[in-house]
Amino acid sequence: MLQLALRSLHSQTLSKNEFEIIVVNNGSTDDTADVVLDLAQGQENMHCIHEATPGLHAGRHRGLKEAKGDVLVYADDDIKATPGWLSAIADNFSDPSVSMVGGNNFPDFQGPIPGWLEELWAQPAMGGQGIGYLSILSLPEGRREISPYFVWGCNFSIRKQVLLDAGGFHPDGVPSEMIKFRGDGETHVARHVLENGLRCQYDSRASVYHAVTKERMTFEYFQQRAFNQGVSDSYTELRVSAGRNSLSDLSVTARRWFGKMRRKFWSNQDENPELQELKKLVQRGYQAGFDYHQKMYREDPEVRAWVHKPNYF
């Protein structure tokens, strides 16, 4: 998948002297380094950095520190960028009032799509379609302001200074044995953008395809993803309630809006027995994750200290 992602970056319409590609190898033990070395032949704008500290935030921050540019474009290793992706992003950032840019994350289904998932994907969202647990999104064509909460990590562009002002990313994806140290990732950055009245732009040209593997097209994946979300939301609640991160009325409104969107997301599923079962599993997984993190916070001083770190650089 990494090879496909990097090949799509080599096919960008934006001139190669206008961007650099930084692959952060976050302690992997596979052939990532060899893949990058092979694809870097004749590509002076691409290099690989090894970051041994586990965790998505560690990799993201290492990329920030290594980057020469004033705009950071974060992508996952399982995306394929459309040819005009970086050109569109650069075009939007030519407006100095734009702080953050996102586009579509079209699904790249890696196998037959179960009927329940087809129905879930068909549900309307913001005039288009979207499933947050799979980080897939398809919105109408055009360019307009959008909530930063709809700019997800697999296609996440931001001015470097804005990210520094936000204190960087919070912890997100971590090895399973470190799940108690999960946080709310780029959601924290989106909250910073929203609270400070900064402009976030959507452009349908700035789009990628995001892999949906066979493993992700299962009830088990959705339940685990819900568990992870429960951990993240517990982290947010504990951090906010301690007063380390002020929660403005604007953010409270945003959180209520997200709750409304979640309820709407499931509101039309009652007639489908499979989706009824999925809803129960998701709710059960979410509550288990939330309760688990709350327990770890009460019992483990290391977790309490981690939740309240000023930043994670």
* Stronger pLDDT, 242 or 229, i.e. the higher one: 229
Tell whether 100 is covered by a domain: yes
Amino acid letter for position 27: G
Tell whether 205 is covered by a domain: yes
Residue 251 pLDDT > 80: no
Tell whether 204 is covered by a domain: yes
Structure confidence at residue 183 (pLDDT): 98
The domain total for the chain is 1
Structure confidence at residue 24 (pLDDT): 97
Closest by CA to 239, choosing from 143, 303, 283, is 303
What is the span of the domain harbouring residue 51?
2-307
Tell whether 312 is covered by a domain: no
Structure confidence at residue 257 (pLDDT): 40
Residue 94: other Cβ atoms inside 10 A = 7
Tell whether 172 is covered by a domain: yes
b/e for 268-296, b at 16 or more Cβ within 10 A? ebeeeeebeebbeebeebbeebbebbbeb
b/e for 98-116, b at 16 or more Cβ within 10 A? bbbbbbbbbbbbeeeeeeb
Residue 250 pLDDT > 60: no
Tell whether 313 is covered by a domain: no
Whole-model pTM?
0.91
CATH number of the CATH domain containing 119: 3.90.550.10
DSSP string, 203-255: ETTS-EEEEE-GGGSSHHHHHHHHHHHHHHHHHHHHHHHTTSS---HHHHHHH
Tell whether 55 is covered by a domain: yes
What is the chain's Cα-based Rg?
A: 19
Residue 133 pLDDT > 80: yes
DSSP string, 48-92: EEE--S-SHHHHHHHHHHH--SSEEEEE-TTEEE-TTHHHHHHHH
Structure tokens at 251: 């953010």
Residue 243 burial (10 A CB sphere; 0-12, 13-18, 19+): exposed
Tell whether 87 is covered by a domain: yes
Classify residue 243 as left (phi > 0), alpha (psi -120 to 50) or beta. left
Residue 219 pLDDT > 80: yes
Q: Could you give the CA distance from residue 121 to residue 128 in angstroms, rounded to a whole number?
A: 10
Is-contact 193 254, C-beta < 8 A?
no
Residue 156 pLDDT > 50: yes
Per-residue pLDDT reduced to its tens digit, 253-308? 444 444 544 554 555 555 789 999 999 999 999 999 999 999 999 999 999 999 99
Per-residue pLDDT reduced to its tens digit, 264-278? 455 555 578 999 999
